[in-house]
Structures are given as structure tokens and as C-alpha cells.
């Protein structure tokens, strides 16, 4: 699953427009806190024979025969599921999952062969756990083969999960209907009764009945099509490999496709609505290249004969890794050569690489339970970086990847964070696992481990892991055990389960000469929440290091957590990375000679932040202001990030952090500039919501003055590398939104020409966002943009217009946008979370966004589901820039009134902590910022 958590920077949204898109699932019941009831009652009032949320382990499914017949006119479907099972202990109750399905008949077939004996099964339903019990007349015999056959019916889901309805408009304006699936994490049970837990792997033989005008696709290739009645065709698909229920997929549509073969003979196809199939070629080429890369990297052939990629018009997450049939939001797969931006190309490539990585990590080897979701998602996120840096070096993914670690640290620094591997049981808790900690932190600690072990040793470990556990399920420790059995390729040898080095190796080129206990080390990163702050004090040649748990907040009592931290550092005397494994609370390393400065966490490869005591920060600020290119752009970005993190905990004065940013006047690289904006823009966003107009205006002017030279250098073209183009796009947007006149005037000219050409003039795609944002500030411009939105076939253009519409200062238009996108007619409901959050970042719109969330909470939970990342995104997007006690009380009051319909959500705890931190931060730093802005050195900018 691809969950791109959106950061709506610059007051509304981040440079990567595709990060508007967030992961969503849906399922209606509200989940109480306890998953076990003493004696549950079935829906007919009789006792239900099972009281746990998890299924019993003594019935094992081996194979499913599934027939689905969907009617796209009545929006209903019928199905028959035959499941081959065996029992490992005698039982007369077969417990499995079913949700919102009407079961008409259930029978038990005993034995194999042509004529098995049949007996009816009594069906009990227990909707609170989405379970059914099939009661046999007598206990099942251990080890004997049985088949349960269930006939049932259901309605196509109106949400984004299960077997659901999707629609699109043709160029001529006709609305067409299709049906598609989204089963992860707990929605296969909405399409067919099944053992819907990842460890119950089985093979699937799928048959789909459809009208002749439609096309059906599924995980496996089509074997044959049979006419079963006039106007009704049954498609038979090949039997799947052994896999989890959440990976089953089927689509009934009128999609068109384009195809290519990989070197090893895998047929790769991209499916899309007919009017957009001409936008499928970029993703098709990328998929072929990436699939070939993974087959080589993992040393395991892709096990299926085909890989389809389908662009679904209504899709709530970024994408989904169904085995052999990956599904995508249209904007994550379709590339319009005329209108798509550089960030869009990067987004599509990363998304395709993420889903194809899952074909091994997640599909071939699957976590045993959702507590270890990171084994799927952290790995797929990490493999985006590993694969794309090789297959598409021109995208320079390394310029973008490490910013993800800072995103993860934002939530991981809160007390409400959770360990990467954390216990979950009910569906709402499972959905909450699809967050920055599972994805981004998971990827960042894997990158740190690769840096620690060396790329080849790391690769050896994961290949061994995949080979050993193919078609099986794993826990956290299985990965570490595979890693621990591979030694780094630098003269180490195996001794007693550890990699050990000879005593001759020098500490400058190796980790400390002792055993590398990968499991113990990595458990400190996956089984406890948060990350360490390393405080460095230099005394002559001695470097004193101390680690502590970095936590924001007032009641940050010491947790006593310790990490095994693979430290790296460079100094003024040596620019090759030195290494040191810190396993204790404090330690000392001795340098060969005294140095002017020392910089830890080389290249941002480590998931920790660093505080330099005494004059350490002054030395580094001096270095940046003198010769900033002496350290890498990633190192510069991490200094900016760490400095402001330390302001939050009072370790560094705000003035020193702001002084450090002054060097940005001479910066040209994407990572440090973006990081500077990521730290400075939220400061004035807090002020906007406190009506601190004078200082807010001064601060905005300071930011533009700081970046003015770089803004003025930007050409209004699509020239340069992907990083240069993404930098241009975001800088010009910032300049225009901040009303920097040279930018506004240029954008107004472009918009005027575009409007006069009735939207048919080709704008440089990298500047379109800035042009539209300026154009949307007049009522006529806004109305024209909306008219173009209605008819556009380009997902990129639609997203850019959507963003621009949200920047208007007209309250009526903002209210109309909220109403329309929730309604879902012209603006699809999948866009609503992004629009709500954009309005929540708008200085005029934020009160109405917060009001809208409260008034429509029940509707939103019904549509987007309790615990889903989209609900979390909307909660944070409407509230986490508040910084007054009055707003804090409003937020607390509203969410506590929701009881089990939202008060316990992690995102609610996160936003409350964030608002409390904002209040403290503003109380402590606002006057200091006001005085700093009057400083004479700013006159030099």
C-alpha cells in the first residue's frame, strides 16, 4: 500500500502535489476498547461460540474457489465461495470473517473426489467482530479434508474498500460505472466469506461473471471465457500462488490497456479508462525496468506470468500491491507528457517501485500479523530509494528520500507515538498502523542498518530472508536473524552468532571492534518508540557523547530508553566518515588531533538528532556562512532540522537557529532550501492563526528577502534536473503566494494569456501551480479555473487547479469547495481530505475547515473510516496549527464528546500534544523572534 502522507507546506500543500494523496480505507462499525466479550450473542440472540477478535488457529484454509457475479446496473453482487479446510483439533464450529454479506446457504462437503457427502451448516453472525460461525452437526475429524461452500449476496460498497463502485465521465460527459476491490487491511470479508488474517495463506481460483461489453481482470491471467447465458460471460482465471486474502483483487470495467514484456517473459500491462490510456506509457516503461531490477536484486524470479497496473478513478490511498494486479489512484500512475510536472514523474516512479517491491516484501513474504506491518511498508518505502536510484538516476531520489526521516521524526517526537512494531487487534487500531512510523521510520532505520552493515551484506541478509520465508509469514525477529547470519564484507568473520572483527582494524574506518549483534541493536529501534538525541561535547581531542530520548512536551520525564546508535562523523580535518557504535548512555571517543568543528550523522543516514554543546553550534554556523559546500547538502539540511528541533526542547535559543538559516541566502540545493522552508513557514502559519499581523508580515518579508536571490534566478521554464525543477516549482509558488511582486506580475501575465486561449495554451508545467494560485485570487479567475477543472482529462492539471482554488481569500467559495468535494459529484470525494486540509491552512478558511470537520464528523467516519490515515490527516490538517488555550479547549472538548467514535484515536492525542507544544513554543519564542527581526544584520539581506 502506498500511503503518501501529505505535508501542506506554504500554507496549503507540499511541493509534491501527489502527496495530496493519502491512504484510506473504510468499514462502518465503531470498535469498543475490549475485543473480548464474556459470552457474545449472535444476531439472532443465540450464544456465539467464539469471543475473540482474532480467529481460532485450529481451522486451516488451503484453497478458495470463488465465483463472483456483479451487476453494475443494480450495484449488487452474488457469489459462491468454496473453501478447502482441515482441522487440527476436533471442533463443530468453523469461525471465519464476513462483513455486510447476506448468506443464503452454507454446506459442508466431507472428503475429496467426485461425490463428497454434503450436510447443511447452521450460520450464526456476530457483526461486532465481523465474524460468522458455521455449525456442523458433528465435530470435524482432525486431518480430514473438508470443503465449506457458502452462497451469498451483497451490495457494491459506496466507499473505497471491499468490492466497491467507481465512476468516471467520458469526454462526452457520459457517466460510466465500474467495480474494483481494495481489501487491505480487513475488507476481503466484504466481498467473500474468508479467513481474513494475513497468516491464513491459501491459493485462489477466481471466476467472474460479467456482461459482454465489460472486461474482467484479476490476480492471474485469463484461462478461458464461457458463455453461461445470453448476455452473460464467465471468465476463469488461473489459480494463484499461496497468498493472504488482502492481496486478492478483481476489476470489472471497460478499461483499455497497453502491454510490454520483461526480459524474463513477464507480461506487464497498464489499464486505464479509454480516454486516458494515452497517459499510460511512462508507468509501463518504469514498471518493466523496475520489475527487472527487483528480479535481479532479490535473486528470486517474479513468480507470476503477468503484472497488471490499473488506474482506478475512485481510489483513496496512493496505490495497492495486490499480487499480479496492482491498483493506483489515477494521479499516481498516469503521466501527461504535456502537463505533468517533474515532481509528478518522481511520484509515479516511486509509487510503481513501492508496489512492485511489495511483490516480494509483503506478498511473497508477509508479516504474521498487523503489529509488524512495517516489515511490508518500511521495506517497500526503503526499496523505492534503493531501486529508483539505480533504474532512474536522473530523478536523483536521494535528494528527496531523507526528508522522509524528518517527517517521521515530527510524530515520533511526541509522547503519543508508538514503536515501529506495536500490538494491534481491532480494525481501527490496524488502520492506525498505516502511518509515518510504519512507512517512513521503517524505511529510515533500514537505511541506517544498510549504512551500518554495508550495502552488500545488507542485501545478502534480505535475500536470505526472502528465500527462507517465501510463501510464509514472519515476525520482526525473523528479519534480524537473517541479517545477523550475514557478515559485513570488510574482513569480519562469524563467531557464536555474531560478526566479529580482528583487533587490527582502525576505529576510523570501522564500527567499534566488537561483535555486531544486529537483533539486539535493531530491537532498540523497533520495540521502543521515539529516537535518541545525542549531545556532543568536545574537550580538546576528547569527544564526550551522551544519549537521551528526544521528546517534545512539558512533562518529558526521562524514559530511560537506550539505543544502539551507529554514529558517523566528519571533522574539519577529515571528510571521510568515521564510525562509532554508541551502546551506553555516555561514552568518549578520542580524535587523532584537535579539530575546529565536528559534524555527526554524515549524509543524514542515521535516525537521530545531535546537539553540539558549548561553541559547537557557533562553529557549524560559521562553517555554513563561510564555506557551506565543505559539507554535503544533506548534512546542511540536517543541521537546519536539528537546530529547530533543539529550540523546541530549550537546548538551543531560537536566535541561534535563525542565525544559522541566514546562510541560505547563498544556498542553491534542494534539500537545505526545502528544509529551511519547512522550519520557517510553519512559524508564520502559527502567527496567522493568532492575528499577530505586524510580526507575521515582518517574518514573511524576511523569508522572501532570504530567498530572493534564488527566486530571481529561477527561469519560467521546464529546464534542468528533476531536483532543480521541483525547487523552481516550490520557490515560485512561495514567492507568488507571499505576493512578491516580480513573481505575481509574471504569473498574472501567464494566467491572462492562458485564460484568453481558453486554457489551451501550454504553460511550463513547473510554474503552473504558481500561475493558477495567482489566477484564483480574482472571482473571474477562480470561476474560469473551476470550469477547466470540470472538463480536464489531466490528473496533474486537476490537482493543480484544486490546490489553487483552495488559496482564495473568498470565504463563500471555500465553503462551496468543502460542500462540493464531500458531495463527490464533480470534485470526487477522494479529494476531500486534501481540500479540507488545504482550507485548514488558509488564513481565511481555517475556522470554517475546523467547523466543517466537527459538523460532518459522523459522515466522514462513515465514508473514510475510524483509524484510517485520511481521518488522521483531516484531524491534523484542521487543528495542528492552533496555538491558543481557547482553541486547545475546543479541540479537547469536541473529541472527548465523541466517546468510542473518535476520542481514543492516536491522531487526536497527537494533535492535542502538538497544540500544547505550539502554545509553549509561541509563549517562549514569539517576543524573541520579534526582537530578532529588528536586528541590524538582517538589513544586509
Give CA–CA dist 310/322, Å, rounded. Answer: 11
Give CA–CA dist 370/389, Å, rounded. Answer: 29
Packing angle between helix 442-453 and helix 403-412, nearest 10 degrees? 120
Residue 578, burial from CB neighbour count under 10 angstroms (0-12, 13-18, 19+): buried
- HEC assignment per residue over 206-250: EEEEECCCCEEEECCCEEEEEEEECCEEEEEECCCCCECHHHCCE
Single out the catalytic residue among 84, 130, 355, 410: 355
The answer to whether the beta carbons of residues 821 and 829 sit under 8 Å apart is: yes
SS3 label, residue 810: coil
Place of cell 519560467: 716
Give CA–CA dist 452/566, Å, rounded. Answer: 7
Give CA–CA dist 440/464, Å, rounded. Answer: 24
Length of the chain, please? 941
Residue 292: closest CA among 325, 253, 252, 265: 265
Q: Which three cell numbers stand for residue 699?
A: 517574518
Strand 306-312, strand 267-272: pairing? parallel
The answer to whether the beta carbons of residues 322 and 256 sit under 8 Å apart is: no
Is-cis flag, bond preceding 188, omega within 30? no
Give CA–CA dist 441/525, Å, rounded. Answer: 9
The answer to whether the beta carbons of residues 847 and 688 sit under 8 Å apart is: no
SS3 label, residue 542: strand
SS3 label, residue 354: helix
For the chain, the helix, strand and coil percentages under 3-state DSSP, each to the nearest 5: 45, 20, 35
Place of cell 484453497: 63
* Integer angstrom CA distances of residue 635 from 401, 609, 671, 800: 14, 12, 9, 32
Give CA–CA dist 707/341, Å, rounded. Answer: 22
Torsion angle (degrees, nearest 10) of CA 731, 734, 739, 740: -20
Give CA–CA dist 785/770, Å, rounded. Answer: 13
DSSP 830-843: GGHHHHHHHHHHST
Residue 691, burial from CB neighbour count under 10 angstroms (0-12, 13-18, 19+): exposed
Packing angle between helix 832-841 and helix 811-823, nearest 10 degrees? 160
The answer to whether the beta carbons of residues 325 and 218 sit under 8 Å apart is: yes
233 φ, ψ (degrees, to nearest 5): -115, 140
Strand order in the sheet with 609-612: 586-590, 542-549, 532-539, 609-612
The answer to whether the beta carbons of residues 298 and 337 sit under 8 Å apart is: no
User: Count of CB atoms within 10 A of residue 812's CB?
Assistant: 9
Give the bridge partners for 307, in sequence order. 268
Give CA–CA dist 325/44, Å, rounded. Answer: 39
Give the bridge partners for 120, in sequence order. 107
Give CA–CA dist 464/457, Å, rounded. Answer: 11
292 included as an active-site residue = no
Residue 354: closest CA among 23, 767, 744, 728: 23
User: Count of CB atoms within 10 A of residue 357's CB?
Assistant: 26
Enumerate the active-site residues: 355
Amino acid at each position: 500500500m502506498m500511503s503518501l502522507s501529505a505535508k501542506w507546506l506554504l500554507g496549503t500543500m507540499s511541493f509534491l502535489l501527489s502527496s495530496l494523496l493519502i491512504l484510506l480505507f473504510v468499514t462502518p462499525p465503531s470498535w469498543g476498547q475490549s475485543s473480548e466479550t464474556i459470552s457474545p450473542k449472535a444476531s439472532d440472540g443465540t450464544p456465539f461460540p467464539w469471543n475473540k477478535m482474532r480467529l481460532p488457529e485450529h481451522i486451516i484454509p488451503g484453497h478458495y474457489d470463488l465465483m463472483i457475479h456483479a451487476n453494475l446496473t443494480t450495484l449488487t453482487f452474488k457469489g459462491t465461495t468454496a473453501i478447502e479446510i482441515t482441522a487440527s483439533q476436533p471442533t463443530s464450529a468453523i469461525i471465519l470473517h464476513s462483513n455486510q454479506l447476506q448468506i443464503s446457504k452454507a454446506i459442508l462437503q466431507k472428503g475429496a473426489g467426485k461425490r463428497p457427502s454434503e450436510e447443511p451448516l447452521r450460520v450464526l453472525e456476530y457483526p461486532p467482530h465481523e465474524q460468522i460461525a458455521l455449525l456442523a452437526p458433528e465435530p470435524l475429524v482432525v486431518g480430514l479434508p473438508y470443503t465449506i461452500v457458502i452462497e451469498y449476496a451483497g451490495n457494491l460498497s459506496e466507499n473505497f474498500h471491499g468490492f466497491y463502485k467507481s465512476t468516471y465521465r467520458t469526454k462526452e460527459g457520459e457517466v460510466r460505472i465500474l467495480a474494483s476491490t481494495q481489501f487491505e487491511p480487513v475488507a476481503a470479508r466484504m466481498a467473500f466469506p474468508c479467513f481474513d488474517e494475513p497468516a491464513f495463506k491459501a491459493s485462489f481460483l477466481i471466476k467472474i461473471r460479467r456482461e459482454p461489453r465489460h472486461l474482467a481482470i484479476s490476480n492471474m491471467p485469463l484461462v478461458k471465457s464461457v458463455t453461461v447465458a445470453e448476455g452473460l460471460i464467465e471468465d476463469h482465471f488461473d489459480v494463484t500462488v499461496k497468498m493472504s486474502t488482502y492481496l486478492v483483487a478483481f476489476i470489472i470495467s471497460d478499461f483499455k490497456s497497453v502491454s510490454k514484456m520483461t526480459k524474463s517473459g513477464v507480461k506487464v500491462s497498464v489499464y486505464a479508462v479509454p480516454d486516458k490510456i494515452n497517459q499510460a506509457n511512462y508507468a509501463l516503461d518504469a514498471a518493466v525496468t523496475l520489475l527487472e531490477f527487483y528480479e535481479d536484486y532479490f535473486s528470486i524470479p517474479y513468480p507470476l506470468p503477468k503484472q497488471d497496473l490499473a488506474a482506478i478513478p475512485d481510489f483513496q490511498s496512493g496505490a495497492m500491491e495486490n499480487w499480479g494486479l496492482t491498483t493506483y489512484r489515477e494521479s499516481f500512475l498516469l503521466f501527461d507528457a504535456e502537463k505533468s510536472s517533474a515532481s509528478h514523474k518522481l511520484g509515479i516512479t516511486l509509487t510503481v517501485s513501492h508496489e512492485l517491491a511489495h511483490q516480494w516484501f509483503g506478498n511473497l513474504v508477509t508479516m504474521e500479523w498487523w503489529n509488524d506491518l512495517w516489515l511490508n511498508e518500511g521495506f517497500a518505502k526503503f526499496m523505492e530509494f534503493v531501486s529508483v536510484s539505480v533504474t532512474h538516476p536522473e530523478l536523483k531520489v536521494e535528494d528527496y528520500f531523507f526528508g522522509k526521516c524528518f517527517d517521521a521524526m515530527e510524530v515520533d517526537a511526541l509522547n503519543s507515538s508508538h514503536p515501529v512494531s506495536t500490538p494491534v487487534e481491532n480494525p481501527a487500531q490496524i488502520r492506525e498502523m498505516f502511518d509515518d512510523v510504519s512507512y517512513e521510520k521503517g524505511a529510515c532505520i533500514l537505511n541506517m542498518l544498510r549504512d551500518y552493515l554495508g550495502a552488500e551484506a545488507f542485501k545478502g541478509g534480505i535475500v536470505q530472508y526472502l528465500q527462507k520465508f517465501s510463501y510464509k509469514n514472519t515476525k520482526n525477529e525473523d528479519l534480524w536473524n537473517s541479517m545477523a547470519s550475514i557478515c559485513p564484507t570488510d574482513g569480519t568473520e562469524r563467531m557464536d552468532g555474531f560478526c566479529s572483527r580482528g583487533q587490527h582494524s582502525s576505529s576510523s574506518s570501522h564500527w567499534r571492534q566488537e561483535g555486531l549483534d544486529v537483533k539486539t541493536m535493531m530491537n532498540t529501534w523497533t520495540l521502543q518508540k521515539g529516537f535518541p538525541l545525542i549531545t556532543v561535547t568536545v574537550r580538546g581531542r576528547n569527544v564526550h557523547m551522551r544519549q537521551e530520548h528526544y521528546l517534545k512536551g512539558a512533562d518529558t520525564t526521562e524514559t530511560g530508553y537506550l539505543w544502539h546508535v551507529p554514529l558517523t562523523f566528519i571533522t574539519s580535518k577529515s571528510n571521510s566518515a568515521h564510525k562509532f557504535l554508541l551502546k551506553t548512555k555516555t561514552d568518549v571517543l578520542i580524535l587523532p588531533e584537535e579539530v575546529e568543528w565536528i559534524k555527526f550523522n554524515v549524509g543524514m543516514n542515521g535516525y537521530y538528532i545531535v546537539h553540539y554543546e558549548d561553541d559547537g553550534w557557533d562553529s557549524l554556523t560559521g562553517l555554513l556562512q563561510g564555506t557551506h559546500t565543505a559539507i554535503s547538502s544533506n548534512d546542511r539540511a540536517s543541521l537546519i532540522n536539528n537546530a529547530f528541533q533543539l529550540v523546541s526542547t530549550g537546548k538551543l535559543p531560537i536566535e541561534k537557529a535563525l542565525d544559522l538559516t541566514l546562510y541560505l541566502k547563498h544556498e542553491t540545493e534542494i534539500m537545505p532550501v526545502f528544509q529551511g522552508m519547512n522550519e520557517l513557514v510553519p512559524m508564520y502559519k502559527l502567527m496567522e492563526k493568532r492575528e499577530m499581523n505586524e510580526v507575521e508580515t515582518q517574518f514573511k518579508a524576511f523569508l522572501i528577502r532570504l530567498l530572493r536571490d534564488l527566486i530571481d534566478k529561477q527561469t519560467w521554464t521546464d529546464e534542468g534536473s528533476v531536483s532543480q525543477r521541483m525547487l523552481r516549482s516550490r520557490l515560485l509558488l512561495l514567492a507568488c503566494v507571499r505576493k512578491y511582486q516580480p513573481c505575481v506580475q509574471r504569473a498574472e501575465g501567464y494566467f491572462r494569456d492562458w485564460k484568453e486561449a481558453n486554457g489551451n495554451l501550454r504553460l511550463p508545467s513547473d510554474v503552473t501551480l504558481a500561475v493558477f494560485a495567482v489566477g484564483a485570487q480574482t472571482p473571474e479567475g477562480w470561476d474560469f479555473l473551476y470550469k477547466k477543472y470540470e472538463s480536464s482529462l489531466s490528473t496533474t492539471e486537476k490537482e493543480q487547479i484544486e490546490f489553487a482554488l483552495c488559496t482564495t481569500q473568498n470565504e463563500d467559495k471555500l465553503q462551496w469547495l468543502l460542500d462540493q468535494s464531500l458531495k463527490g459529484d464533480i470534485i470526487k470525494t477522494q479529494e476531500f481530505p486534501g481540500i479540507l486540509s488545504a482550507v485548514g491552512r488558509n488564513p481565511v478558511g481555517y475556522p470554517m475547515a475546523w467547523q466543517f470537520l466537527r459538523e460532518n464528523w459522523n459522515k466522514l467516519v462513515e465514508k473514510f473510516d475510524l483509524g484510517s490515515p485520511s481521518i488522521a490527516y483531516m484531524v491534523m490538517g484542521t487543528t495542528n496549527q492552533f496555538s491558543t488555550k481557547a482553541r486547545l479547549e475546543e479541540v479537547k472538548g469536541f473529541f472527548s464528546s465523541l466517546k468510542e467514535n473518535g476520542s481514543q484515536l492516536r491522531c487526536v492525542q497527537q494533535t492535542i500534544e502538538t497544540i500544547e507544544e505550539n502554545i509553549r513554543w509561541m509563549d517562549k519564542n514569539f517576543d524573541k523572534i520579534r526582537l530578532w527581526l529588528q536586528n541590524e544584520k538582517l538589513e544586509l539581506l
